[in-house]
Amino acid sequence: MIDTTSPVARDMFGVLSDGRAVERVTLRGSNGFEARIIAYGAALQALVVPDAAGRCEDVVLGHDDLEGYLGKRSFFGATVGRYANRIANARFLLDGVAVHIAANDGPHALHGGPDGFDRKLWQVAGVAAGAQPAVTLRYVSADGEEGYPGRLEVSVTYGLTGPTELSVSFEARTDRPTICNLTNHSFFNLEGSASLSDILDHRLTIAADHFLAIDPAAIPLSEPPRAVAGTPFDFRSATTVGERIRRADLQLQNGRGYDHNFCLDEADELRVAARLEAPRSGRILELLTDQPGLQLYSGNYLDGSVQGKQGRLYRQSDAICLEPQVWPDAPNRPDFPSARLAPEGTYRHQSVYRFSSRGVPR
């Protein structure tokens, strides 16, 4: 049972086959806003958000029990690493030395390889109550895990930094040069994860003038970023996700929809990267991040083979992912922002998910 009175509650979400317990921590804000985080994959298991009428619903896809997360790998709400997104041919040069990592997407590496951070049991390292409840989870990735060099000590902190605002902050340190690129992989449907509607009518704005064109394997092409102007990738003003998603466009064909990195203005501080609005509930999500890229994924590979919360089968475009990160395949592209992490440095990444609502016309 989850304590419904305290700003922080802890309960048992399940037990792994080796007997290790998987804890869940619930952070509670105002007006019914709450985030539930599980130690398996350091994942956001639920995010309950009020709508314009004050009705609270979970707005992220996932599972009601641990068994769902242990089944088909879907990255629902997970902390993804050691390298989020793709690395071409599962290899890269680091300080002039070839590094070969585990492939799991044909010949390429995706989201850390076949046994990435989303498949690990993290330690609940600290919980803070009070006006801004938070939980910190930690994981130590051994030198050579999935082929990556260096022992990497990683932490992620989920905190409620406003009445309806969730902050996700990552830190990592290494004992030898390596690469690091972490993100949260939540699937959002602002009408509610139990709704029968898709996200094609959600209005999306992305603060990016350029995106990365990809080949059919979703690897960035060997060309500079393309301008979004005049393409289906122009979300500089609010546009419904579905307005251009079925156009005869080679990039949409290669991604089976949107599965592309948008190139944000480089900054070392938080700035608004995207805004998502749901037409019926009136919920609004503003995403702020300090990362150089934002991966837009329109749920193209949800095919009804995964049973999620309340027994619902998840299908294409049932949710949308907005993943702040370094650009895909950056370790092979010196013209991209760098993902290199040295022992004297600290990897840091902060993203804020700020929710509000507007009146819905009747």
**Three-state secondary-structure class, residue 125:** strand
pLDDT, tens digit (0-9, with 9 covering 90-100), for 102-152: 999 999 999 999 999 999 999 999 999 989 999 999 999 999 999 999 999
Residue 28 buriedness (CB in 10 A; 0-12 / 13-18 / 19+): buried
Q: Which residues contact 166 (CB under 8 A, 6 or more apart)?
A: 27, 35, 44, 47, 158, 159, 160, 352, 353
Tokens of 85: 């997104």
Q: What percent of the chain has pLDDT over 90?
A: 94
Q: What is the mean pLDDT of residues 327-350?
A: 98
At residue 256, the pLDDT reads: 97
Q: Any catalytic annotation for residue 185?
A: yes
At residue 129, the pLDDT reads: 94
Q: Going from the N-terminus, what domains does the chain have, and what CATH number goes with each? A: 8-197+304-357 (2.70.98.10)
Q: What is the mean pLDDT of residues 251-269?
A: 94
Q: What percent of the chain has pLDDT over 70?
A: 98
Checking if the pLDDT of 3 tops 80, the result is no
**Which pLDDT band, with edges at 50, 70 and 90, does 360 fall under?**
low
Average pLDDT, the chain: 96
Checking if the pLDDT of 361 tops 60, the result is no
Checking if the pLDDT of 1 tops 70, the result is no
pLDDT, tens digit (0-9, with 9 covering 90-100), for 208-242: 999 999 999 999 999 999 999 999 999 999 999 99
Q: What is the mean pLDDT of residues 7-21?
A: 97
Checking if the pLDDT of 79 tops 60, the result is yes
Please say whether the beta carbons of 234 and 296 come within 8 A.
no
At residue 6, the pLDDT reads: 86
Among the listed residues 23, 57, 323, 349, the single catalytic one is: 323
Determine which helix (DSSP H) or strand (DSSP E) holds 255, and give its type and residue range.
helix 250-255
Cα 222 from Cα 101, distance rounded (Å): 21
**Which pLDDT band, with edges at 50, 70 and 90, does 332 fall under?**
very high
Q: What is the mean pLDDT of residues 15-31?
A: 97
Q: What is the mean pLDDT of residues 321-329?
A: 98
At residue 362, the pLDDT reads: 38
Among the listed residues 63, 185, 260, 349, the single catalytic one is: 185
Q: Which residues contact 24 (CB under 8 A, 6 or more apart)?
A: 2, 10, 11, 12, 13, 36, 37, 38, 39, 45
At residue 92, the pLDDT reads: 98
pTM of the full structure: 0.96
Q: Any catalytic annotation for residue 202?
A: no
45-52 long-range Cβ contacts below 8 angstroms, 24+ apart: 45/13, 45/77, 47/166, 47/186, 47/353, 49/164, 49/190, 49/283, 49/355, 50/164, 50/357, 51/281, 51/282, 51/283, 51/357, 52/281, 52/282, 52/283, 52/357, 52/358, 52/359, 52/360
At residue 93, the pLDDT reads: 98
